[in-house]
Amino acid sequence: MLDALRQFHSELSPLDGAGVQDQIRDALSWCAVEVDRCQRLLDQHETASQQLATARTTIQRATTRIGEINQALEAGAKDARTLAAALAGIAPHVQGDMCPVCNRDYAEVDSGSLTAHIAATIASLTSEAGRLQALSTERASESERLTTARRDEASAERLVLQSDGLVDLRRRQSGIASIRSRLEPLQGDAARGQSLLIRLDNARRTVATTRRAALQSASLLPDINAAVEQATGLPTTSFPSLREALEGATEALSGRLRTVQAALSSRVSVETELEQYAREAQLLSDRVARATQLEERRATMKGTFASIGEIRDAAKNLATAATQVRSGIVRDVFSGSLNKVWRDLFVRLAPNEQFVPQFRLPDQGDGKVEAVLETFHRSGQSSGPPGAMLSQGNLNTAALTLFLALNLSVPSQLPWLLLDDPVQSMDDVHIAQFAALLRTFSKGLGKQIVIAVHERALFEYLTLELSPAFVGDSLITVEISRNFAGDAVADPHFYVFEDDRAVAA
């Protein structure tokens, strides 16, 4: 049966005795699937044949009807609706029986009035146009049916089998079904045969193993005799059986092995003790060397501690001297002269402020001397700190005048004054007073003033106030801006003293 099935299923594996039951089960499964597939193709063929016949009938009818409609359309009047509309447009212009188109008298025909003839013609043309429109609609519907039928015909033709293919498919289905019906009763015999074949295979393997063991035993017998005689000093014939000879040899070898193991254990223990003694001797040597190093370091640290004590005493003396010098400098700098100069400059810039800032030097004995900022009322009464008593503009004025007072009180190494936007929170009166004070520093005290501002009006005002006033006096203004590329550009201007001829005259 499997050979017969192989004519239909070439991929079916050859018969294997150990797996015959599985092969029959797989073959039956394939037969069931193949029979179903053949039946499905036959059903598709039947359905497609019916669809093909229906589609061809529809195509024949639609083609015939479209030909009839085309003949009817060709026989009908062309552009009947357009002509009817044209006549309807001419009808209002008809006067009597004179035709407005050809200028003839319709009464000569003797067929009624021209107006009635035009109306009848318009009605006839309108009816013909309706009939033609209905025929066009019907032709479009028949064309759509024809297209659908041809599409169904093409789809059905792909599924319809040729006569030879149909016969082969039916023959294939019948042959596979017959093989399937003959294979199904053989499943029980296949199971029993597979079981017997497995038992046969196991028996063959057992016999082969027994034969190999017998051959191996025969080949090992001389070696066993030699090993027993070497272990016990007696031949195997001295023992009742070969098993007892092997047991005696094994016991003798076990005794020797225990002796060797005991000797090996003693040797390992001795070697371990020797290694431990070597490690402890090396550790003792390292500890002695480490103790020597620590002793040397201890002696060095004692000398270092003595040096540190001397350095600490010298540092204390130096700190005391520095504190005394600093206190002297603070007393010298923040003396009454600084407060006086600061007061004069502050009052000059803020003449209406009642509270004047100054430094107070608290007496702390021999310790540090710290200068404390406070304000005094012009009446001489002490008040709070400047941050609590002065406005923001006067705080800025106080800081600015303190800077100028320090510059006047302490001998300067460089005759320069560098001011960055010093007029913050100042009103116009403070700015005018500050400009006059800068002019005094520049013209009267010979200071080189460098001032930076951000407002153009203030820039131009200070340029005017600090302009050269005598021969040798000069002024440099620099305006810094950015070009279109984003780079900073400095534009300097130089001013020198020139006599004013108009005033001199």
Average pLDDT, the chain: 79
In this prediction, residue 505 carries a pLDDT of 47
- Identity (one letter) of the amino acid at 191? A
Rg (CA), the chain: 66
In order of 139, 146, 181, 258, 355, the CA distances from 66 in angstroms are 6, 9, 56, 117, 118
Q: How far apart are the C-alpha atoms of 442 and 434, rounded to whole Å?
A: 12
Residue with tokens 């066009």: 136
Structure confidence by residue, pLDDT tens digits, 298-328: 989 988 988 898 898 889 888 888 877 777 6
* In the predicted structure, residue 434 carries a pLDDT above the cut 80: yes
Structure confidence by residue, pLDDT tens digits, 125-158: 666 666 667 777 877 888 888 888 888 788 877 7
* In the predicted structure, residue 432 carries a pLDDT above the cut 80: yes
What the block records as the tokens of 33 is 């699937």
| pLDDT, greater one: 251 or 503 | 251
2-190, which class in CATH? mainly alpha
| Structural domain boundaries in the chain | 2-190, 239-313, 334-466
| Residue 452 banded pLDDT, cuts 50, 70, 90 | very high
Residue count of the chain: 505
In this prediction, residue 282 carries a pLDDT of 92
Strands (E), 263-379: 355-360, 372-377
Residue 148 φ/ψ, nearest 5 degrees: -65, -40
| pLDDT, greater one: 210 or 225 | 210
Residue with tokens 């013209």: 443
* In the predicted structure, residue 203 carries a pLDDT above the cut 50: yes
| Residue 103 banded pLDDT, cuts 50, 70, 90 | low
**What pTM value is reported for the model?**
0.35
Q: How far apart are the C-alpha atoms of 196 and 17, rounded to whole Å?
A: 9
Mark out the alpha helices in 1-109 (DSSP H runs). 2-6, 20-75, 80-90
3-state class (DSSP) for residue 438: helix
Q: How far apart are the C-alpha atoms of 430 and 351, rounded to whole Å?
A: 9
334-466 falls under which CATH superfamily?
Answer: P-loop containing nucleotide triphosphate hydrolases (3.40.50.300)
Closest CA to 328 of 376, 360, 359, 368: 368
Structure confidence by residue, pLDDT tens digits, 106-128: 666 666 776 666 666 766 666 66
Residue 425 φ/ψ, nearest 5 degrees: 60, 20
* In the predicted structure, residue 79 carries a pLDDT above the cut 80: no
Structure confidence by residue, pLDDT tens digits, 359-391: 776 655 555 666 677 887 877 777 788 888 888
